[in-house]
Structure 1
Amino acid sequence: MLRTRKELAFMVMAGIFITSAIVAELISAKLVYMGPYLAPMIAGIVPWPIVFLLTDVMNEYFGKQAIRRLSWITTCLIAFCFLIVFIAVHLPTAEGSWLSDQEFAKAFGGSLWIMVGSITAFLVSQLLDVQLFHFFSKLTKGKMIWLRSTGSTVVSQLVDSFIVAIIGLYLSGAYPLKLVLVLAITGYLTKLVIAVCLTPLIYVMHYLAKRILGERGEHIIPGEV
């Protein structure tokens, strides 16, 4: 029974992780108005702090190898989503369709470049986040959860933000370089603020994970020791 609970916990967290990553790709073509004194930001930024939060917690309880596998699976699913969206964009539109060819292509076509950028950024930043998490974990000798989580996120989110912006927004020709750099910086700072605000939630998740998984939960993953 305990093993089943551990597997269920991993499946739920992995499901939220994958869903957040894919949804972020589909909504990233939209710029969100942040007020008269702030630069706009990409809508897809919103789910990413959840991804990195789960990365840190799952790192702790399921091990580095399990997160690497999940990162590769998520990347493959984003690529699969890319293929489906690509086909949908190029299918002929029937008469009377709610969205015309141009409207549909504008809404979802921009997501294709975002997905290319995100696949690249996701692999680089996630693998970097895993390594940094374990570096900070050794540095703090397993203590100071907030530093392990926030420290790794600060660096990995910086890499993620600029790779996505340059590939998804600049190379696609959607926006000029100056605006793309502004969006990258705004996105990074926004994700950083959200990540810091989520720090109390990290402790809550660690508490719940210990109740369900015990001190270490990585033994439920085949091949993990």
Structure 2
Amino acid sequence: MNSNGALQARKDLLLLILAAFFLTNAVVAEVIGGKLIHIPTEALAQRWGITPFTLSAGILPWPVVFIVTDLVNEYFGRRGVRRLTFIAAIMLAYTFLVLRGTMHVPAASFSPVKDEAFAQVVGQSTLIIVGSITAFLVSQLLDVTVFWLLRAVTGGKMLWLRATGSTVVSQLIDSIVVLGIAFYLPGKITLGQFVSVGGYNYLYKFLIAVAATPILYLLHAVIDRYLGEATAQQLVQRVAEKELKGAL
């Protein structure tokens, strides 16, 4: 294999690994989203004398999605993010269809997991499913747009700004869309509850986006070393020129 072929193989493997983490965490987040958790835990909150955030457990894997989105944006451009986003949305719909179908298959009499328990864990309403997938699509497509707008403004500097800025903007819309479609519009929660729950969810995502910035820089350095510093910079520059030229 010549040097060009070896480089292409490295790029392909990098994209494959990033895609695997992106898709896995996106699907897992939706599957576990029915469980509500406290951050910090109730025991710690009582000890510290504070009120804990009540959040969906599905929010736990999302920092990985944030970071991977920014890395794919940086090294493979908006086309890479959009493709992964649409693939993830299809896989989310497929996952929910499989789970819904499995709920209608009676459990064996000796099954340790009964039908009621299984349905309680994985059975989500149609509106929650629609809201989750819609919010995911809208927020991801908005994220990639804001990312490249900020990159154009900063001239490729301040990775932290375009990464964090695109996430905090897109996740604001994500919080509004998913709660609006799944709970507020059907009348399941009041406007006050909509604002409160949405605010807590968004605050958590905002803090996580900021806290994940050092990890993003670390992974950026790891990828640069994996591809080779000069090669990585050429790839980033080539992607940026293509994206910014297309935006003009």
Normalised by the size of structure 1, how large is the TM-score? 0.89
* Match among 150, 169, 180 for residue 166 of structure 1: 180
Deviates more, 1:30-39 or 1:45-54: 30-39
C-alpha distance in 1 between matches for 2:16 and 2:126: 28
Query: Which runs of 5 or more structure 2 residues have no equivalent in the other structure?
Result: 1-5, 46-50, 244-248
1:20-66, CA deviations, whole angstroms, 9 ceiling, x for partnerless residues? 00000011001002335123111001111211211111101101111
Aligned to 2:233: 215
- 2:14 counterpart residue number: 9
Q: Where in structure 2 are the equivalents of 1:1-225 lying within 5 Å?
A: 1-34=6-39, 35=42, 36=45, 37-110=51-124, 113-170=127-184, 176-177=189-190, 178-213=192-227, 214-217=232-235
State the alpha-carbon separation in 1 of the partners of residues 56 and 234 from structure 2.
37
Structure 1 unaligned spans of 5+: none
Distance 1:134 1:184 in 2: 26
After superposition, give the CA deviation of every residue in 1:175-217 in whole Å (9 maximum; x if it has no partner).
Answer: 5334444222111111111111110111112212222331144
- Residue 171 of structure 1 deviates from its aligned partner by 5.8
2:197 is paired with a residue whose SS is helix
Is the CA contact (8 Å cut-off) linking 1:86 and 1:112 kept in structure 2? Answer: no
**Does the 8 Å CA contact 1:59/1:130 hold for their aligned counterparts?**
yes
Q: Distance in 2 between matches of 1:98 and 1:11?
A: 36
CA distance in 2, matches of 1:77, 1:194: 25
In the alignment, the residues of structure 1 paired with residue 96 and residue 193 of structure 2 have an alpha-carbon distance, to the nearest angstrom, of: 25
Q: Larger Rg: 1 or 2?
A: 2
> C-alpha distance in 2, partners of 1:29/1:172?
18
Structure 1 ranges of 4+ moved more than 6 A: none
Decide whether aligned partners of structure 1 residues 83 and 184 sit closer, same or farther in structure 2, where only a CA change above 3 A counts: same
Query: What per-residue deviation string (whole Å, max 9, x for no partner) do you get for residues 128-171 of structure 1?
Result: 00000000001111001110101111110111122222333456
Determine which structure has greater relative contact order: mean sequence separation of CA pairs < 8 Å that are 6+ residues apart, divided by chain length.
1
Whether the 8 Å contact between 1:121 and 1:159 is mirrored in structure 2 is: yes
More displaced stretch, 33-42 vs 130-139: 33-42
* Contact 1:29/1:111 (8 A) holds in 2: no
User: 1:68 touches 1:127 (CA, 8 Å); kept in 2?
Assistant: yes
CA contact 1:18–1:74 (8 Å) conserved in 2: yes
| Greater Cα offset, 1-10 or 144-153 | 1-10
Letter of the 1:54 partner, please give it.
V
Alpha-carbon deviations, 1:60-82, whole Å to 9, x = none?
A: 11011111111111111111101
TM-score (norm 2): 0.81
Instruction: State whether residues 46 and 191 of structure 1, in contact with CA within 8 Å, keep that contact through their aligned partners in structure 2.
Output: no
The aligned amino acid for 1:93 is: A
